[in-house]
Amino acid sequence: MRGIEGEQVLLRLVLSESRSHDRESLAEHLLALFRADGLAGATVLKGVAGFGRDRSVHAAGVEVTAHGLPVVLEVVDSAERIEQVLPRVEALMVGGVITLERARVIRYTPSSPGDRSMPGGPDDRSTPGGADDR
């Protein structure tokens, strides 16, 4: 794992969950791109409601199936690494918002020594489908 600390850059992307690239969720495609490029890490956050330039409110509701809910991707890394990936991100984005902010990294470590698994992932021993259910 490559470490980062101190002054870095936060790349934030806001897009619709309905966006896709080559029949794959655009958020998942971007996440794979960031990982393949060796960026320090990325997080995908799913929104429950939002509106954009068209002023239409998209909200998750029990009574209806929501369409176009907001998805936020956040990536923190050095300015150089963010600048390297940014042209490809811009080319993939149709609509949405791209922002850059300064970020001061205080801590960047696994959640516990040796723990590199994601909750619910193949190495997670606490959930059905994890390592204990193989």
Q: What is the CATH number of the domain that holds 63?
A: 3.30.70.120
Please report the sign of the dihedral spanned by the C-alpha atoms of residue 83, residue 89, residue 94, residue 95: negative
How much is the pLDDT for 72?
A: 96
Domain count, the chain: 1
Instruction: Dump pLDDT digits (tens) for 69-124.
Output: 889 999 999 999 999 999 999 999 988 999 999 999 998 887 766 555 544 444 44
Residues ≥6 apart with Cβ < 8 Å to 105: 4, 5, 6, 7, 8, 76
Within-domain flag for 35:
yes
pLDDT above 60 for 46: yes
3-state secondary structure of 71: strand
Between 133 and 21, the more confident residue is: 21
Domain that holds residue 13: 6-111
Within-domain flag for 22:
yes
Q: Return the CA Rg of the chain.
A: 17
pLDDT above 50 for 134: no
> DSSP alpha helices (H): ranges in 20-108?
26-36, 79-92
Within-domain flag for 119:
no
pTM, two decimals, is 0.74
Within-domain flag for 129:
no
Query: What number is the average pLDDT over the span 122-129?
Result: 44
Within-domain flag for 124:
no
C-alpha 79/C-alpha 100 separation (Å) is: 9
Within-domain flag for 121:
no
Within-domain flag for 133:
no
